[in-house]
Each structure stands twice: as C-alpha cells, then as structure tokens.
C-alpha cells in the first residue's frame, strides 16, 4: 500500500502544525492512529483478515476483572510501548496481535530472528523520527514549512527581557541548554507567547504543574468516564507514570496529580493506567 499522501497529511503536517503553534508533537502516535491502526486496519477488513499484527512492545490479554480484552504494558518494561497505542480503536482489542509483549528483552527476539535466518536479526535499534533520520528537526521544519529563524524576546514570568531567541520552534518545554542567557540560577523554558513571539523562561520550580486538561480522549476500558477515578498518568514515552485523579471536565478530562510534576507540554499525550492496564488517553491542551 502506498500511503505517502496519508503519511504527509496526518503525520508530517501535524508535526509542522504543532511546532508552528508552540506545541510538542509525537509523530509516532499520529502514525499509529491514522496509518497502522487506521489505513492498515481498514485494508485488513477489506481483505477479510481475522487479525493484524505489529512489533510493538505491549500486550493484549483478556481481563476477568473487566470482562474484556485489555491493552497492557509489555513484560520488557524498558521497551514498553503501550503509551503510543492508547488511541487505537477499541474494537481492535479483539483484532490485534502483539507477539513481542511476552518477551523480557530484545535479545531474546534477536535470537529467534537469527535462528530463522532473518536479515534484520542484528539491525540496529532506531530511536530517531523516521522521516528525519538526521535528527535535525529544526532544519527539516525550515525546509518543509514557512517556519524560519525569527528573533524575539526571551522573558521571565514578570515580562522582564533577558535576551533574544532564534525562533520559538527551536525550543521545547523544560529546555535549559542553548538559551544564550545568564542568570544567578538555572533557567528553563516554561512557556511561549506566540502572539508576542516571546519565549518564557523560569526557575525549575516553575516547570511543575499540579493539574492540566486532556482533550480528544480515547477510552479502551469503557466508553466514557462518568466520575472521578484514581489512575497513574504518563505524559511522555520515556517518563514515569504518576498517581492522579482524572475527572470529567467540559467534554474533556482534568488531571490532578497527587504531587506536582515536571514539564507537561501542550501537544504531548497523557495516557491513563490502572496497574499495567491502559484505560485511555488524550492530548494535553
């Protein structure tokens, strides 16, 4: 299947739009939603396939407690990818096979591949964005969008000017290095003012948030959250999940942590867990 147009529309353009609007994208999640579990699943149905399978590190198992199939963390905790699978259609819990979820390391899988003489048995791991193999996303944005270096002020929360930035898309929430400003205490990117073209910086304590809103929520354990629920919330693929209340709020979900947590970035996904089960997730507003 040639999905070049869909990939450009749903993954690359979303990536560009996020940075254009001072948000932090996650292209893998968009690719999963629209291509792997969108276009591929539709094609599988056309071909009357019973199942589709992918190489994600996660598990789908039947839960006696919830009386349905559930998406769970992989046995290989360090490789777990359940975070990027939260927005699959709920019906796919009965149509998706994730054979890598039961293994505890990639070494086990490489040995199986080697035993069967597969050419990819010793293929290096890829951590990069697939459409930016160099890892230089700033140059990619400049070459593929209207985003160009444009200076603006770096300000603190009291709007004191501390220096100049080189384009808001070149900075991310929590960034400390490369700001080009001096201060008595370390300063971090804590926000953006797109209208004024200002980069807002502050001390580390100002990166912490107690609560935030999540929109475009996809539920896997039930159809809708009816009342407050205690869950663990993960806001980045590589971060820990932290205990919080999740509460229905104006067609969205409000997350209230037990303790304030660091570097919650608009555009990233917040995924909700009960133990090792993914109950749903959505985009941080």
Q: What is the pLDDT of residues 124-134, one digit of tens each?
A: 887 779 999 88
Determine what percent of the chain is predicted with pLDDT higher than 90: 92
- Whether residue 144 lies inside any domain: the answer is no
98 and 175 inside one domain: no
Residue that finishes a domain, picked among 166, 181, 202: 202
Contact 157, 206 (CB under 8 A): yes
Out of 105, 122, 139, a domain closes at 122
Q: Which residues of 122-160 are buried (b: 16+ CB within 10 A; e: fewer)?
A: eeeeeeebeebeeeebbebbbeebebeeeebbbbbeeee
Domain check: are 26 and 117 in the same one? yes
Q: Are residues 222 and 117 in the same domain?
A: no
CA angle 131/83/6 to nearest 5° reads 35
**The domain containing residue 93 runs over which residues?**
4-122
pLDDT in tens, 56-68: 999 999 999 999 9
Please count the structural domains in the chain.
3
pTM, rounded to two decimals: 0.93
Same domain membership, residue 257 and residue 159: no
- Bridge partners of 230, per DSSP, are 245
53 in the same domain as 112:
yes
Residue 194 lies in a domain: yes
pLDDT tens per residue across span 200-231: 999 999 999 999 999 999 999 999 999 999 99
CA 149, 155, 202, 24: dihedral to nearest 10 degrees?
-30
**DSSP designation for 239:** S
Q: Which residues are catalytic?
A: 31, 130
């Amino acid at each position: 299947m040639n999905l070049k147009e869909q990939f450009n529309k749903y993954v690359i353009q979303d990536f560009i739009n996020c940075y254009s609007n001072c948000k932090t994208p996650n292209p893998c999640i968009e690719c999963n939603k629209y291509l792997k579990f969108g276009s591929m699943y539709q094609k599988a149905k056309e071909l009357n396939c019973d199942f589709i399978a992918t190489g994600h590190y996660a598990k789908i198992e039947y839960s006696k407690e919830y009386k349905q199939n559930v998406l769970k963390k992989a046995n290989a905790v360090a490789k777990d990818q359940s975070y990027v699978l939260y927005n699959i259609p709920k019906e796919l819990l009965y149509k998706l096979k994730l054979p890598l979820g039961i293994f505890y390391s990639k070494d086990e899988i490489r040995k199986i591949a080697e035993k069967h003489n597969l050419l990819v048995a010793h293929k290096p791991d890829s951590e990069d964005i697939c459409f930016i193999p160099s890892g230089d996303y700033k140059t990619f944005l400049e070459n593929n969008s209207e985003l160009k270096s444009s200076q603006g002020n770096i300000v603190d929360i009291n709007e004191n000017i501390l220096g100049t930035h080189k384009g808001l898309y070149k900075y991310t929430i929590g960034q400390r290095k490369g700001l080009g400003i001096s201060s008595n205490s370390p300063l971090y990117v804590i926000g953006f003012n797109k209208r004024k073209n200002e980069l807002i910086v502050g001390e580390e304590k100002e990166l912490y948030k107690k609560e935030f809103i999540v929109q475009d929520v996809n539920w896997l354990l039930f159809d809708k959250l009816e009342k407050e629920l205690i869950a663990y919330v993960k806001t980045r693929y590589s971060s820990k999940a932290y205990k919080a209340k999740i509460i229905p709020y104006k067609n969205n979900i409000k997350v209230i942590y037990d303790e304030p947590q660091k570097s919650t970035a608009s555009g990233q996904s917040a995924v909700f867990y009960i133990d090792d089960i993914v109950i749903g997730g959505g985009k941080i507003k």
